[in-house]
Amino acid sequence: MTAYLEKLNDRQREAVEHGIGLADGAVGGPLLIIAGAGSGKTNTLAHRVAHLIVNGADPRRILLMTFSRRAAGEMTRRVERICRQVLGENAAIMTGALAWAGTFHGIGAKLLRIYAEQIGLAVDFSIHDREDSADLMNLVRHELGFSKMESRFPTKGTCLAIYSRVVNSESLIVDVLKSSYPWAVNWGNGNR
């Protein structure tokens, strides 16, 4: 029944099988894997998740996160493929079962949607990506007349970068301008 693990090297297999098969049916604690590019991390993780499912874990209770949508999709496909290979006809449990597989941002957005009302958000809230945010900055620049002034106001990308730095550093805008955008400190004071 573990033929699907034969292509893994010893270290990968050790990670995949970590803590599975404990007497009380529990799964062992966390395992930190440090590995370089091309070492098979994605394959190992896909096998780990599939191995958990094959050994009775409920796929709806597995959180599988990665950084990109492409990687999340690839990981999900690999898990499903391995499970179909091992479980055969019983693989129907996998249909839509990895509900908590995705990117960090996607999982975060899903949690926000589930708990939107409890945390004071409208259920139909939207999340702007970087380009949406830059476009919004440009709209405000234009509405305030800054895009048509003789002395050019900072571009939408610069405005977004300034805003992001203010939020992330929890600093005052004047302090961020002084430290990172000194050329913009006196914009609008006649010192252009």
- Tokens, residue 179: 């430290």
Instruction: Choose between 28 and 123: higher pLDDT.
Output: 123
- Residue 20 — pLDDT band, cuts 50, 70, 90? confident
More confident residue, 106 or 184: 106
156 marked among binding-site residues? no
Say what the pLDDT of residue 15 is: 92
Instruction: Count CB neighbours of 178 within 10 A.
Output: 13
36 labelled binding-site residue: yes
Give this prediction's pTM.
0.68
Is residue 171 a known part of a binding site?
Answer: no
pLDDT tens-digit map of 139-148? 998 898 887 8
The predicted-structure confidence for 68-96, as pLDDT tens digits, reads as follows: 899 899 999 999 999 989 888 777 777 77
Please say whether the beta carbons of 59 and 48 come within 8 A.
no
Secondary structure E strands in the chain: 64-66, 101-103
